C-alpha cells in the first residue's frame, strides 16, 4: 500500500511539473510572438519585398570566348 502511494505521488509530481513547464513555455512563446508582430508592423519596406534579398540570376561576359559562325553540316572545322 505504501509503494502504491509513493508511486502515485511521484507520478503526480511529475505531471504537475510537466504542466508548469508547459505553461511557462507557452507564456514565453506568446511574449516572443507579440514582440515579433510588433517589429513586423514597424517595418519600413513593403511586406512583399525584402531589402536584403538579391536575385540569384547573374550574367557574366566570358572574355576568352571567341564567337565562331556555325558551320554547315558536312563540313569539318579542323580542315
pLDDT in tens, 3-55: 999 999 999 999 999 999 999 999 999 999 999 999 888 877 666 777 788 78
Residue 71 neighbours by CB under 8 Å, 6+ apart: 77
Query: Is residue 46 classed as helix, strand or coil in its secondary structure?
Result: coil
pTM given for the model: 0.51
Structural contact between residues 58 and 64, judged by C-beta atoms closer than 8 angstroms: no
Amino acid at each position: 500500500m505504501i509503494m502504491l502511494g509513493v508511486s502515485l505521488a511521484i507520478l503526480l509530481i511529475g505531471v504537475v511539473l510537466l504542466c508548469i513547464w508547459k505553461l511557462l513555455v507557452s507564456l514565453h512563446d506568446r511574449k516572443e510572438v507579440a514582440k515579433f508582430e510588433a517589429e513586423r508592423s514597424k517595418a519600413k519596406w513593403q511586406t512583399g519585398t525584402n531589402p536584403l534579398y538579391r536575385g540569384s540570376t547573374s550574367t557574366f561576359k566570358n572574355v576568352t570566348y571567341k564567337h565562331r559562325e556555325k558551320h554547315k553540316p558536312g563540313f569539318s572545322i579542323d580542315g
